Amino acid sequence: MRLDRFLSNLPRFNRQQVRTLLASGRLRVDGNVTRDPHHKVRIFSRVELDEETLQTGHAARYLMLHKPPGCVSATDDPEHPTVLDLIDEPARHELHIAGRLDFNTSGLLLLTNDGQWSRRLTQPASKLAKVYLVETEQPIEAHYIDTFRQGLYFAFENLTTQPAELTLLGPRTARLSLVEGRYHQVKRMFGHFQNKVLRLHRESIGPLPLDRQLAPGAYRALTAPELLSLSEPAGPEQEKG
């Protein structure tokens, strides 16, 4: 298909915008800048606009991984095994992580080669609840619930965290639901009470739970209904967090 036709078929561009984009030099096909409306776009062509991938060049992949503790949420690391080392796929180096977990955190991690999808999923406006099981060193006290609901001030970012919902499960275990993903957020929230997080496990992202059949280190493709559920707008359940 011609590049101008390919762009016009995307719902976000009208004809005038397609002409402007083509003239701008911001488009790349298979890594080469092109201004040619006749440039051929094949199924396996990679089409990019600035840093955004409009077509990946490989079939889009969406994976759920049961991240074990002791590996880095990165695509490479000089010292430690990475989550990508657990993926046995031909085009695994095209994958990136949608929502990282710390080295010792376990649980649901999503990987994809679709940059638009992962951006949508991880942007704060998505309001997708991320649910964590937390085990701490000290007892978790009932007054944490109100503090977390009201939000905590994070001086480094100069912001107050969004309301988070804490459910006590035992003296030192709880379930915490967050709608954002600040750096070390859970540990910093419990750190406010000088209570160290000993174990952290992500159970779900929005409507998507970690598949219980997946052993730590195992992964599988998301099903079509799972993908669809993640792209639906957050309902009241999601917004509570």
Active site residues: 102
Choose the binding region for ligand URA from 21-29, 88-96, 182-190, 212-220 (rule: CB under 6 A). 182-190
Contact 74, 43 (CB under 8 A): no
Q: Which two tokens stand for residue 6?
A: 């390919």
Comparing CA positions, the residue from 132, 146, 136 lying closest to residue 195 is 136
Task: Give the nearer residue to ligand URA in terms of CB position, either 105 or 177.
Answer: 105
Contact 219, 87 (CB under 8 A): yes
Interface residue with ligand URA among 30, 85, 89, 102 (CB under 6 A) is 102
Q: Residue 108 interacts with ligand URA (CB under 6 A)?
A: no
Phi/psi for 203 (5° steps) reads -90, -35
- Number of residues this chain uses to bind ligand URA (CB under 6 A): 8
Interface residue with ligand URA among 63, 134, 200, 222 (CB under 6 A) is 200
Interface residue with ligand URA among 187, 192, 199, 240 (CB under 6 A) is 187
Comparing CA positions, the residue from 107, 18, 13, 20 lying closest to residue 64 is 107
Q: State the minimum distance, in angstroms, from the CB of residue 101 to ligand URA.
A: 4
Q: Which two tokens stand for residue 229?
A: 């559920």
Among residue numbers 115 through 154, which ones bind ligand URA (CB under 6 A)?
none
CA 177 vs. chain centroid, Å, equals: 15
Interface residue with ligand URA among 53, 112, 126, 185 (CB under 6 A) is 185
56: CB partners within 8 A, 6+ apart: 46, 94, 113, 114
Q: State the minimum distance, in angstroms, from the CB of residue 83 to ligand URA.
A: 12
Task: Give the nearer residue to ligand URA in terms of CB position, either 89 or 203.
Answer: 203
Q: State the minimum distance, in angstroms, from the CB of residue 84 to ligand URA.
A: 17
Task: Give the nearer residue to ligand URA in terms of CB position, either 58 or 199.
Answer: 199
Choose the binding region for ligand URA from 12-20, 30-38, 152-160, 181-189 (rule: CB under 6 A). 181-189
3-state secondary structure of 204: strand
Q: State the minimum distance, in angstroms, from the CB of residue 58 to ligand URA.
A: 29
Among residue numbers 6 through 35, which ones bind ligand URA (CB under 6 A)?
none
Contact 13, 21 (CB under 8 A): yes
> How far apart are the C-alpha atoms of 18 and 37, rounded to whole Å?
9
Interface residue with ligand URA among 184, 221, 228, 229 (CB under 6 A) is 184
235: how many CB neighbours lie within 10 A of its CB?
A: 10
Among residue numbers 43 through 82, which ones bind ligand URA (CB under 6 A)?
none
28: how many CB neighbours lie within 10 A of its CB?
A: 16
- What residue ranges bind ligand URA (CB under 6 A)? 101-102, 105, 184-187, 200
